[in-house]
Amino acid sequence: MTDSSTSPAQGAQHPEPPQASLRAELAGQIASAQSELQSQLAELQRASGDSSLTSELQGQLHVLGALGQFLSSADGSSLSQIRAELATSVAAVRSIAQQAQTAIAAAHVSEAAKQAAEYAAATVEIDRKVAPILAADRENSALAHAMANRFGIDLSGYDQERETLQRQQQEAAAHGDKVGQRQADVLVAENTYNSMAASADHIKDPAERRRYLQAMQEQQQNVEKLKAALAEQLELQAQNLAHDKGLSPAETTAFIAQYKAEGMSQAEARGHDLKGADQAQATQLRLEAEVKRVQAQEVKAAPALLQVDTTLTPEAKAQTQKAAAAITAGFDTFAASISLDGTPQIALSTTTDAHNKVEVPPVAKAIDGAAQGRA
């Protein structure tokens, strides 16, 4: 017996009303247009901040938002009106989006050109600072070879290494690889320092040792200056890369720090592998200690006369003043004895005995005796 309350169609889903289907379709179109506009707006603001296009995009977003609210409460008779308005809005969105894409592309080109110009200018400034350092490096390399020739030291291993590093310098410069060029600069300078150290222990003259030590210290300073130039170049390169990647300010800061650390570590590792690198620093420290020891001996052996107190004692000072007073008194007496016509008014003693009766102060006697002794 069949239950009349059931039918073969029982349990089957009823087809969705046309109005509900249209409402869902329009809602999807509105959401898609809003998403596209928001994406374009964010990219445009990052790229150029074009105020007119930004205002248009924001205006269309407002229109789409209003249509969405209207759609949620509209009756069936209003859906056709919403569909027409949405079609107009979507067309406007597509037009503005195309304009935004053009503006964004132009802004990227302009920003890239600006970034490239700033990088080039900063790199030229680094080149300017590095040039005299490399010139000083060549002079110290010549000094190292002159000293090696003098003592018969073979620097052929250092020379082969230097040629390889200089080729790396040239190749990096030819390809515009400024970081690679700066790394090679550092390594060439370290090669020079190491080759200088090879002859240092053969110098025996203390004064010459001091001069050579000073040259080695100056070369070590050259290495540090070139490392600073490398760090500066790494930072410029990292800034460019961070910009190309579209990193945020915080991400850019972290990226630059990591990029510099890795670049400097790579240069340090290559420097440790250079010929004589493990001995050069020890040689300089030993040379510095030797120079300080010699200087201490020179100070200790300084003439004792440099430390003599030449101040007169009170007794000697009193005798000197007494002698001066006697000389002055004798001159005054003689002057008073001269007449107006230049002839003496008193007879001057011409005998030796009378002369010997004149009292001479002790200091004067001492001075006179010393003079006679030198004569």
Phi and psi, residue 303, nearest 5°: -55, 135
Between 146 and 57, the more confident residue is 146
Q: Does 366 map to a domain?
A: no
Q: Does 128 map to a domain?
A: no
Domain containing 64: what range? 19-108
- % of residues, the chain, pLDDT over 90: 37
Q: Does 195 map to a domain?
A: yes
- Whether residues 75 and 177 share a domain: the answer is no
Whether 367 shows a pLDDT value over 60: the answer reads no
At residue 317, the pLDDT reads: 65
pTM reported for the whole predicted model: 0.56
Q: Does 11 map to a domain?
A: no
Where a domain ends, among 46, 78, 108? 108
Own/partner pairs for 232-236, CB < 8 Å, 24+ apart?
Answer: 232/122, 232/126, 233/123, 233/126, 233/178, 233/179, 233/182, 234/179, 234/182, 234/259, 234/260, 234/263, 234/264, 235/259, 235/260, 236/119, 236/122, 236/123, 236/178
Which candidate, 295, 240, 258, 247, places its Cα nearest to that of 120?
A: 240
Phi and psi, residue 247, nearest 5°: -75, 150
Whether 194 shows a pLDDT value over 50: the answer reads yes
**What's the domain count of the chain?**
2
pLDDT tens per residue, range 340-353: 444 444 444 444 44
- Whether residues 33 and 160 share a domain: the answer is no
Residues 114/53, Cβ–Cβ less than 8 Å: no
35 residue type, one letter: S
- Whether residues 72 and 178 share a domain: the answer is no
- Whether residues 42 and 167 share a domain: the answer is no
- Whether residues 288 and 159 share a domain: the answer is yes
Q: Does 212 map to a domain?
A: yes
Where a domain ends, among 108, 135, 162? 108
At residue 344, the pLDDT reads: 47
Between 163 and 365, the more confident residue is 163
180 residue type, one letter: G
- Whether residues 212 and 296 share a domain: the answer is yes
Whether 204 shows a pLDDT value over 60: the answer reads yes
